[in-house]
Chains A and B, each alone.
Chain A
Amino acid sequence: MAKYAMILNYKNCINCKACEVACKEENGIELGAKAHRIWVGTYDIEGKYPLLSIPSSTFYPSQCQHCANAPCEEVCPTHATYYDKNGVVQIDAQKCILCSYCMVACPYDARYVDTRTMSVDKCNFCSDTRLARGLKTTACQATCPTKVRLFGDMDDPNSEVSHILRTKEHFTLKAGIGTEPRLFYIK
């Protein structure tokens, strides 16, 4: 039993997209822009040269937030979307009827249709690949050159994740709607 979470030191991100590639490679995600579990968002830089806003030039890696109060789980008519024992939001492709309700309900646009299985798919913290092989990191974390990502167990008070959450200010996305994301961004 664990409570898995990920911390993103997003200001270190250089938008190399190695994480996107590693995720596709590790988890056998379909090619093409539509099928992606994780992404790196960018803003247009604000201001006019030479008065450019430096903080606006930041990249925002993200993925499924593994909400503790997940709208996608709540709306699934067949329990194809469920919480596993580690608090990770999972999808049982065999039970998914492709009603797409979870895609409509997810406030983070984290889900897409895998056209090979014709079921909905999203990030599962490499549960059936790396974690199943006994590794302790996700593919995106392992590949990141600037150590933006940190995966770990919030229930273990001695984990690095717990330590950082205790000592560093952080925020979650769309906190106001009460989904309680497990993806934390360091301020």
Chain B
Amino acid sequence: MLNHLIPHKTITLRSVFDFEKTPFNLFMALTTLLLLAAFAAGFVHYLMHGHHAYGVTREHPWGLLIAMYIFFVVSSTGLCIISSLGHVFHIKSFEFIGKRAIFGAIITIVSGFAVIGLEIGHPVRMVIYNTLSPGFSSAIWGMGVLYSVYLFLIILEFIFLSRDDHKWSRIFGLGGLLVGIAAHSNLGAVFGFLIGRPMANGVFYPVYFILSAMITGCYLLFLMYGYKYKMVFNDEMQKFLMHLGRLLGLLIAILVFFEFWRFLTAIYGNFPERAETALHILGSFNFWVGEVLLGMAIPFVIILYSKAKALKAMIYASISGMIGIFFMRYDLVHDTLVYPMQTMKIKEYQLAPSWIEYMPTMTEWAVAFGGIGICLALYYVGENFFFLDPHQDDAYFQNYRDEE
């Protein structure tokens, strides 16, 4: 029945637990289970205590969960953009990644929705009133609607890709790509529109979001294929990963260039609030170690010095890259809110003027990182249930042939 809609493998409960018991696989399985348990615990705690379970405050109303939501949707958009290079724009070496990348895009955005669902105070009300009294001027409204359409389109894209229907998959692929870019730049605009926050206000974030999404997409593809092929690559894979590495190198170079001018224009002329905030960010550990060292420098140096040929090193560097991307998402939220909006209430309720501080609670950590557990679990299920690779690369057929 389902096979008519989308080709899939026969799956039994036993086959789900029947994976190769290498130490690394066991480690991944354990990690996934622990993260899922963390999510469940966070969820229960949230149900019991509501928003009180979170560390967000009046001055810092957004926190880790918003950052994690952005982390996931950035991943999704990135995977969608990079995969479209193959099956929408027909760049040869990228063509075979289509299904795996789009499946990754689907599960990352689903995990993102799971996390944001626990951050929004009234998710059900949101669905009702987003429809009944839509606030068209709200970037959050636009983002919500566009991401929903995006999810719908990439699911269809995945279905047609799986059916090897390349006409329709291309149409939905192009649709998903365009709506995805619209949705994602809109998410940047959620911050860019803030006229009261000079460090965030302006064109930077909408553009930066697309760029950093593409970088995230590259890191994730390195990780997905590194894991899939256990670091042993055939010629075709090597060629693809080298191209991916070069693309990544170029994108990181552009990012460094963007960041350089962002900070220079923010500091130059000592514009009130903005310059101070920029200098504050430049003095932070998160920025230099998290964003610059892990997120940009380590991967970039490896690509540069090996001319994108050190594939194994790149896969390890992609772990560092993803940690860096996490810091970028966290800092994005925190840096936007870090300057106090006190206007004249310099010492309201005995609060002396200071940078706004925020510390996520255990519940927030559990839900946020539990989201990664959801993502890993869905990936595992997808790997065993759908055909994520072209047929000749799929171990499933290998096993079939052996049985015959």
User: What is the interface of chain A, defined by CB distance below 8 A to chain B?
Assistant: 33-34, 36, 39-44, 60, 62, 71, 74-80, 94-101, 103-109, 111-113, 115, 118-119, 173-174, 177-179
Distance to closest chain B CB from A26 (angstroms)? 19
A115 to B54, CA, bound (A): 13
A62 near B137: Cβ-Cβ < 8 Å: no
Identify which of B8-16, B21-29, B119-127, B381-389 touches chain A.
B119-127
Residue B230 is within 8 A (CB to CB) of chain A in the complex = no
| Closest chain B residue to A35, Cβ basis | B58
Other A-B pairs, 20, CB within 8 Å; known A60-B346, A62-B344, A118-B50: A41-B344, A41-B346, A43-B346, A60-B344, A62-B343, A74-B138, A76-B135, A95-B125, A95-B133, A98-B51, A101-B138, A101-B190, A103-B61, A104-B337, A105-B193, A106-B196, A109-B340, A113-B61, A115-B52, A178-B195
Residue of A42, A78, A109 near B135 (CB, 8 A) is A78
Residue of A76, A96, A103, A179 near B138 (CB, 8 A) is A76
| Closest chain A residue to B145, Cβ basis | A77
Chain B contact residues: helix, strand, loop or mixed: loop
Residue B341 is within 8 A (CB to CB) of chain A in the complex = yes
B345 near A109: Cβ-Cβ < 8 Å: yes
A77 near B121: Cβ-Cβ < 8 Å: no
Q: Mark B177-211, 1 if CB is under 8 A from A, else 0.
A: 00000000000001001111100000000000000
A41 near B126: Cβ-Cβ < 8 Å: no
Q: List 9 A-B contacts (CB under 8 A).
A: A40-B348, A41-B342, A74-B137, A76-B135, A79-B134, A97-B120, A99-B120, A100-B61, A107-B343
B contact residues, total (Cβ < 8 Å) = 44
A84 to B314, CA, bound (A): 58
Contacts of A94 in B (CB 8 A): 125
Contacts of B194 in A (CB 8 A): 71, 104-105
A173 near B343: Cβ-Cβ < 8 Å: yes
Residue B92 is within 8 A (CB to CB) of chain A in the complex = no
For the complex of A and B, 8 pairs with smallest distance between CB atoms: A98-B121, A107-B196, A41-B345, A60-B344, A78-B129, A77-B141, A100-B61, A109-B341
Instruction: List B residues 341-387 near A (Cβ within 8 Å).
Output: 341-349
A116 to B140, CA, bound (A): 25
Distance to closest chain B CB from A12 (angstroms)? 15
A95 near B61: Cβ-Cβ < 8 Å: no
A113 touching B196 in the complex, CB below 8 Å, given contacts A75-B139, A119-B121: no
A53 to B11, CA, bound (A): 79
Contacts of B120 in A (CB 8 A): 97-99
A118 near B121: Cβ-Cβ < 8 Å: yes
Distance to closest chain A CB from B231 (angstroms)? 43
A111 to B60, CA, bound (A): 11
Q: Mark B43-68, 1 if CB is under 8 A from A, else 0.
A: 00000001110001111011000000
A113 near B58: Cβ-Cβ < 8 Å: yes
A101 to B345, CA, bound (A): 21
A144 to B58, CA, bound (A): 26
A133 to B349, CA, bound (A): 31
B135 near A79: Cβ-Cβ < 8 Å: yes
Residue B286 is within 8 A (CB to CB) of chain A in the complex = no
A76 to B126, CA, bound (A): 11
